[in-house]
């Protein structure tokens, strides 16, 4: 499939859909030099201990580039599972499961937002019903107190990181993640800028589907 690119306002997004033949939906998504492969399987038959009568159960698996998954990877699984449970129309698929698999390919700072955006595109590729689309943006605060969308080359120069996840209907925050030390004003500034930037992410999603 053709690789779709967008370099608007330093987000530097790229995507390739249908990269895995056995998945119901898949996407290779990159933000700058950060790359994540996402795959959606389902709705599929669910194990009895995870069966939900009124809706589909959602399972998320995140695999790091190397080594065994750690605590931070389990957190990513938990975060993405909660986002999918909120966004998917799971009530339409009772007594089934939706499996979300993610593989880190490369990380230059935007791993969480890249993974979340990759999942949304994989869901769109699979055709599963969704209540809304979701998109994420990462924002960084350097030790020089500068806010930037581009992760600093030297990781030690990052004072704080913000990740905000929005829906495409009202622009509401459906999830967030922060690391480091920052002021309330810096948090509010990051939130406002990310809310504006995520509009470009949703435009990119639309362009990707139209060009597929």
User: According to the model, what pLDDT value does residue 7 have?
Assistant: 42
Domain that holds residue 138: 4-210
User: According to the model, what pLDDT value does residue 212 have?
Assistant: 66
- Tokens (6 digits) for 14: 């790229």
| Alpha helices by DSSP H, 94-174 | 111-126
* Dihedral angle of Cα 6, 11, 16, 20, to the nearest 10 degrees: -170
User: According to the model, what pLDDT value does residue 49 have?
Assistant: 78
Contact criterion met (CB below 8 Å) for 115 and 80:
yes
Q: Is the peptide bond before 43 cis (omega within 30 degrees of 0)?
A: yes
Domain count, the chain: 1
Query: Would you write out the chain's pLDDT as a tens digit for each of its 212 residues?
Result: 444 444 444 578 999 999 999 999 999 999 999 999 999 998 998 888 788 889 999 999 999 999 899 999 999 999 999 999 999 999 999 999 999 999 999 999 999 999 999 999 999 999 999 999 999 999 999 999 999 998 887 878 899 999 999 999 999 999 999 999 999 999 999 999 999 999 999 999 999 998 76
User: According to the model, what pLDDT value does residue 195 have?
Assistant: 96
3: left (phi over 0), alpha (psi -120 to 50) or beta: beta
The alpha carbon dihedral of 206, 207, 211, 212 has a sign of: negative
Nearest to 114 by CA among 1, 12, 9: 12
User: According to the model, what pLDDT value does residue 51 have?
Assistant: 84
The rounded distance, in Å, linking the Cα atoms of 121 and 83 is 13
> What phi and psi, each to the nearest 5 degrees, are found at residue 81?
-60, -45
- The model carries a pTM of 0.92
User: According to the model, what pLDDT value does residue 1 have?
Assistant: 46
User: According to the model, what pLDDT value does residue 169 have?
Assistant: 94
User: According to the model, what pLDDT value does residue 6 have?
Assistant: 46
Supply the CATH number for residue 18's domain: 3.30.230.70
């Amino acid at each position: 499939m053709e690789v779709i690119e967008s370099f608007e306002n330093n987000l530097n997004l790229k995507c390739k859909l249908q990269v895995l033949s056995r998945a119901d939906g898949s996407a290779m998504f990159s933000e700058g030099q950060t790359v994540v492969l996402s795959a959606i399987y389902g709705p599929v038959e669910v194990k009895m201990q995870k069966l939900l009568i009124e809706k589909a159960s959602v399972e998320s698996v995140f695999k790091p580039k190397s080594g065994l998954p750690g605590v931070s990877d389990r957190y990513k699984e938990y975060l993405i599972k909660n986002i999918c449970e909120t966004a998917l129309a799971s009530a339409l698929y009772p007594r089934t499961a939706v499996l979300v698999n993610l593989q880190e390919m490369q990380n230059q700072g935007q791993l969480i937002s890249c993974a979340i955006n990759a999942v949304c595109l994989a869901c769109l590729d699979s055709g599963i019903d969704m209540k809304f689309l979701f998109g994420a943006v990462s924002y960084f605060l350097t030790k020089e107190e500068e806010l930037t969308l581009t992760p600093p080359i030297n990781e030690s120069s990052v004072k704080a990181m913000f990740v905000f996840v929005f829906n495409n209907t009202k622009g509401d925050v459906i999830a967030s993640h922060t690391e480091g030390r920052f002021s309330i004003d810096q948090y509010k500034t990051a939130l406002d800028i990310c809310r504006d930037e995520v509009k470009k992410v949703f435009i990119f999603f639309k362009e990707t589907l139209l060009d597929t």
